[in-house]
Amino acid sequence: MELGGVANWNGKAKWYEGSIRKMLTNEKYKGDVLLQKTYTVDFLSKKWADNNGQVRQYYVEDSHPAIIDKEIWEEVQLEMERRRNFVLKYGIQKLDYATISNPFTGRVICGTCGRIFGRKVWNSTDERLRRYIWQCNGKYPWKGKKGCANRHIDDGVLYQAFINVFNMMLENKNYFLGKWKEMRESDNALVQYKAKQFAKIITEIGRIKEFDVELYFALTEKVFVYDGGRLMVVLLDGTEVEYAVQNYGKNYLS
Ligand SMILES: [Zn+2]
């Protein structure tokens, strides 16, 4: 069997994003084969072209042992589609830019104008006064259009919001477990997966006092920032939780 995308692998687990992505989108890896994917245009020149319906395609299920479990494969397709849609919707380049040290990149959205919030450093020269803040990318006037009036928020607010939202879910565990049980009946493999994963997390993990980046990535899709210090955290199961920044007036209205 041809391994295509895994060819880079040399026994030292050297994976490249490109080959993983190629592998995760190639149906061969889940054990199926789509025959006649390309077809010969001219038998003399031996030129091949993609088959866009000119020749009938045959989809053969279970033609060989699967490398990736079919269910996981289906979930991955849906997750990649979700990311593509997210990136298109909010005009960002790539959702994968979020990192462990800056997990909110590309995920904080302005509740006033719908654009992305970006992180800025204040007082970068004086360490004692240094602050990270998030503000709307549409803040400044551009091409004669007025800038967005939404105010900035402190970096720490986002971390605290996630901690509080997670603990709130724990306090309402039974409600959420009921909701996820229903979601497991869904036809959508990704919805089913998330419901299963969320239920597992909530039964295994207790109250948190500190931000946990792995937990955050597993649960959170985006955070909306509205005027007046109100946030809305949107989780990957579709749950939306409102959160009011404490002492917003005192700290942010200068
Ligand atoms: Zn805005």
d(CA 121, ligand 1 centre) in Å: 18
d(CA 29, ligand 1 centre) in Å: 43
d(CA 62, ligand 1 centre) in Å: 50
Which residues lie across from 233 on neighbouring strands? 223, 241
Tokens of 184: 């497991």
* Distance (Å) of CA 247 to CA 62, 218, 219: 59, 29, 26
Please return the burial class of 232, using the count of CB atoms within 10 Å of its CB with bins 0-12, 13-18 and 19+.
middle
d(CA 204, ligand 1 centre) in Å: 38
User: Angle 173-183/189-204 helices, nearest 10 degrees?
Assistant: 150
The total of other beta-carbon atoms located within 10 Å of residue 193's CB is 22
Spatial distance between the Cα atoms of 131 and 29, rounded to a whole number of angstroms: 47
pTM above 0.75, yes or no: no
3-class DSSP assignment, residue 176: helix
Taking a 5 Å cut-off on Cβ, the residues next to ion ligand 1 are 110, 112-113, 115, 136, 138, 148, 150
d(CA 140, ligand 1 centre) in Å: 10
Which residues lie across from 8 on neighbouring strands? none
d(CA 37, ligand 1 centre) in Å: 45
Distance in angstroms between the alpha carbons of the first and the last residue of the chain = 66
d(CA 112, ligand 1 centre) in Å: 5
Spatial distance between the Cα atoms of 163 and 185, rounded to a whole number of angstroms: 29
- What's the residue count for the chain? 254
d(CA 91, ligand 1 centre) in Å: 13
Spatial distance between the Cα atoms of 226 and 244, rounded to a whole number of angstroms: 10
d(CA 116, ligand 1 centre) in Å: 7
Residue 127 and residue 103 in contact, taking contact as beta carbons nearer than 8 Å: no
d(CA 8, ligand 1 centre) in Å: 44
d(CA 118, ligand 1 centre) in Å: 11
d(CA 117, ligand 1 centre) in Å: 8
Tens digits of pLDDT across the chain (254 residues): 333 334 434 444 444 556 666 666 777 666 666 665 655 555 555 566 666 666 666 666 766 676 677 888 889 889 889 988 998 898 887 766 677 888 999 999 999 999 999 999 988 788 888 889 999 999 988 888 889 999 999 999 999 999 999 999 999 999 999 999 999 999 999 999 999 999 999 999 999 999 999 899 999 999 999 998 899 999 999 999 998 887 665 544 43
d(CA 222, ligand 1 centre) in Å: 15
Q: What confidence score (pLDDT) does residue 2 get?
A: 36
d(CA 239, ligand 1 centre) in Å: 23
Closest CA to 162 of 113, 109, 221: 221
Q: What confidence score (pLDDT) does residue 3 get?
A: 38
By DSSP bridging, strand 117-122 and strand 38-42 are unpaired
By DSSP bridging, strand 240-244 and strand 38-42 are unpaired
d(CA 223, ligand 1 centre) in Å: 13
At position 37, the amino acid (one-letter code) is: K
